[in-house]
Structure 1
């Protein structure tokens, strides 16, 4: 059986279903991870030393634990800590998808916060001082001067995080989320043929990551030209 014949039949439909779940999980976790990353970054700008240190330790702790451990904890451990009502509500839904999304979102949020923090730290302090001298408040300076520049600087790393998140969704198969690799494994169990399903999944991941890589490079070239024109 050729790859085209393989993809045009029932097994292609299974892989398409898996790809749909992968893209859904990637989209949810990227959006939630970005929100978490922004919140962590803002908290780390607190004027209180103890708050900055506490959040910094939290981010380091999240980044230090393997993603698989996060997924297993949120699926097997966290629901049991909930009261009966919320726990039963959770189990009545797609608990596998929800727990995987929570775990990957928190994990991604910790890395995204570091990317955003690096972007903020790359802005010269002189810009803050100049904005304040022009009558901007601290909040206005951050919102209109610092944050837009930091975000532009952080876009390529964020696209890299999108690529990482897409690949990390494959770990969700460990708790039964029917994403792309889960479906490839299922096809292997049916056909006893490992090459075609896993080769197909590999090509899909390669295509997604290639698109994101090209987008990152295109953005970087555009940003360089824009800075050159302004100079």
Structure 2
């Protein structure tokens, strides 16, 4: 076996579908963890707006932990540590429903939420304080002001950082391989072990990650362009 030949890998049905399944699972993990991270990021931002030091310090501790402990360590902690503390019935249920992928989504989502909430917090800080006063003068309560007036502006301000961290989240999905998730990187290693075509297989993975990351960035650029037009009105 000699020469560079990607077709030799892709033309093999077994290898092809292993890579396709791995890419599909990568999308599932990335989408699931992104949804969890963004939802929790908004929740943490709202909690941090509660008057008093307790809520602010609790969220700050959460952010500090998840930003300073390596993501890989958090993945391993959830899969091998926290999972063992669950009731036995739940452990059996998770084992029957792809526990590796579920814990990967949880660990990546909780970790990325720390970055998203800080991005949103920075975006909220950039909103003029007079916006809240104007909203209250128009009869909006605190929750209504945050939901309808301040948070949309905060998201618009935070879009560049949110897009960058979304790309990072997609790439970090490859770390799920460490706990046995059959995502793209795991599939690439399996195909490489079976085909002995290291260069070709990793070239396919490189192109796949590059294309997907560029698509995410393109979508983000479109959203930022649209947000800039809306903000200029």
Q: Give the deviation of 1:104 after TM superposition.
A: 0.6
Please point out which of 190, 193, 198 is paired with 2:197. Answer: 193
How far off its partner does 1:122 sit? 0.9
Rate the CA distance shift 1:35–1:6 in 2: closer, same or farther, 3 A: same
Q: Contact 2:156–2:224 at 8 Å: present in 1 too?
A: no
Q: Is the 8 A contact 1:132 1:141 kept in 2?
A: yes
The one of 18, 22, 29 aligned to 1:25: 29
Q: Which structure 2 residues correspond to residues 56-205 of structure 1 after superposition, within 5 A? A: 56-205=60-209
- Between the aligned partners of 2:104 and 2:231, the Cα distance in structure 1 is 40
Post-superposition Cα deviations, 1:190-228, rounded to whole Å, max 9, x if no partner, equal: 122211111100000000111112222233333334444
Stretches of structure 1 that go unaligned for 5 or more consecutive residues are none
Structure 1 residue 154, shift from structure 2 partner? 2.5
Contact kept in structure 2, 1:181 and 1:201, CA below 8 Å: yes
Tell whether the 8 Å contact from 2:127 to 2:153 is kept in structure 1 after alignment.
yes
Post-superposition offset of 1:170: 0.5
Shift of 1:153: 2.2
Say what the alpha-carbon RMSD is for the aligned residues. Answer: 1.6
- Tell me, in whole angstroms, the C-alpha distance in 1 between the residues paired with 2:98 and 2:193: 24
TM-score if structure 1 supplies the norm length? 0.92
Structure 1 residues 216 and 114, CA gap change in structure 2 (3 angstroms): same
